[in-house]
Amino acid sequence: MKIHLVAAARPNFMKIAPLYHRLKAEAWAEPVIVHTGQHYDFNMSDAFFRNLELPDPAIHLSVGSGTHAQQTGNVMIAYEKVIMDGDRPDLAIVVGDVNSTAAVALASVKLGVKVAHLEAGLRSFDRTMPEEINRIVTDALADILWTPSPDADANLLREGVPAEKIEMVGNIMIDSLEMMRQAIERERYYDSLGLVPAAYAVVTLHRPSNVDSPETLRKLVHHLVSAAGRLPLVFPLHPRTRKNLAALGLLDALESFPGVRLVEPLPYIPFMSLIFNCRLVVTDSGGVQEETTYLGIPCITLRPNTERPITVTQGTNRLCGIDQMEEKIDEIFAAPIQAVSIPALWDGRTANRVAASIHRFLHLL
């Protein structure tokens, strides 16, 4: 059975990796990696394939950057051509919530190709986020919806998705983390930055709502520099963020501030090594909210909402605005946030459950 594993952007690669390795071990499965090319820099893409021990993608659509419509449209056209030219899978698996996720789901269903969505059902209820639109579209189209947490099941049921299409399988990101744990623990990337464990914070910010408006970005830089006065900050810069900082002339100022270490986007293993050993995280990423909850590390998410509420109700994640960030850091210094418990099925065995689900779906019993 040919199974396309579709990946597009940095947060997708750690979601397909455990599943690729798991399916590769099955006689009935032929997993084929399809890279849409939404992320194309070495640091945003190839480095992840190497760190996660993935082969080069068998199919590369090379769509690159563009407006939302261009990116989505180009992926639809290119993936439709793959199918029409004869490379038709028995199942297309899409992950996460990037433009390519929705685009491949749309192109597939119109050609009668079955689609499964891994990480289905997450909702921020904020339709100004492009990712929320991608989630809603993808979940409306998918034949199988694999969810990471009970809130996601509830969202889908409320939207009228039939219960038999939904299966809670847990969090696939935790599979990647556990698969690479030894390499992450050996890495000690913080040494190369002159930092010691538990005495620095990691910052990752790239959402348009935080980094696209000059006024917001200036405010962000002001608070980061102020926070760096009490705790060194390591800030791996997403290309979007770097570009916008440079355009405002803020890059050099930020870089020259003694407590700030600006670095290139990091491959999975050094990045996770930084997270494993930090005192706290400031982020607007989705995946980092989950990883810190699993590891019990305090996480400040600079967003008004999250599609991953379980990281707040059960985990170490706290939402706040940019102006409240320093106050939140003070609170964490006074009393580190404790997790209530690790969410159910975030256990490193999600790929096994997904493989079993595919087996059932394709009637291979």
Residues of the shown chain interacting with ligand UD1 in the complex, contacts defined by CB under 6 A: 9-11, 38-41, 44, 65, 97-99, 130-131, 206, 238-240
Distances (CA, A) of 148 to 57, 79, 91, 119, 302: 26, 27, 20, 6, 22
- Angle formed by the axes of helices 172-179 and 287-295, to 10°? 60
Residues 341 and 310 sit within 8 Å (Cβ to Cβ): no
Q: Which of 269, 255, 283, 285 is nearest to 190 (CA)?
A: 269
Q: Which is nearer to ligand UD1, 40 or 361 (CB)?
A: 40
Residues 175 and 350 sit within 8 Å (Cβ to Cβ): yes
- Out of 4, 117, 206, 238, which one is annotated catalytic? 206
Q: How far is the CB of 245 from ligand UD1 (least distance, A)?
A: 13
Task: Report the Cα–Cα distance between both ends of the chain, in Å, rounded.
Answer: 13
Q: What span, in angstroms and rounded, lies between the C-alpha atoms of 343 and 340?
A: 9
Distance of CA 144 to the CA centre of its chain: 20
Handedness of CA 48, 18, 348, 346 (dihedral sign): positive
Q: Which is nearer to ligand UD1, 10 or 353 (CB)?
A: 10
Q: How far is the CB of 284 from ligand UD1 (least distance, A)?
A: 9
Residues 283 and 289 sit within 8 Å (Cβ to Cβ): yes
Q: How far is the CB of 105 from ligand UD1 (least distance, A)?
A: 13
- Helix/strand/coil for 160: coil
Q: How far is the CB of 177 from ligand UD1 (least distance, A)?
A: 17
Distances (CA, A) of 188 to 191, 270, 276, 299: 6, 8, 9, 20
What is the per-residue DSSP string for 214-232? Answer: HHHHHHHHHHHHHHHTTS-
Q: How far is the CB of 322 from ligand UD1 (least distance, A)?
A: 18
Q: Is 206 a catalytic residue?
A: yes
Q: Which is nearer to ligand UD1, 38 or 277 (CB)?
A: 38
Q: b/e map of 330-339 (b: 16 or more CB within 10 Å)?
A: ebbeeeebeb
Residues 276 and 184 sit within 8 Å (Cβ to Cβ): yes
Q: What span, in angstroms and rounded, lies between the C-alpha atoms of 140 and 125?
A: 15
Q: How far is the CB of 238 from ligand UD1 (least distance, A)?
A: 6
Q: Which is nearer to ligand UD1, 301 or 332 (CB)?
A: 301
What is the per-residue DSSP string for 247-306? Answer: HTT-HHHHHHSTTEEEEPPPPHHHHHHHHHH-SEEEE--SHHHHHHHHHT--EEE-SS--
Catalytic residue positions, numbered: 206
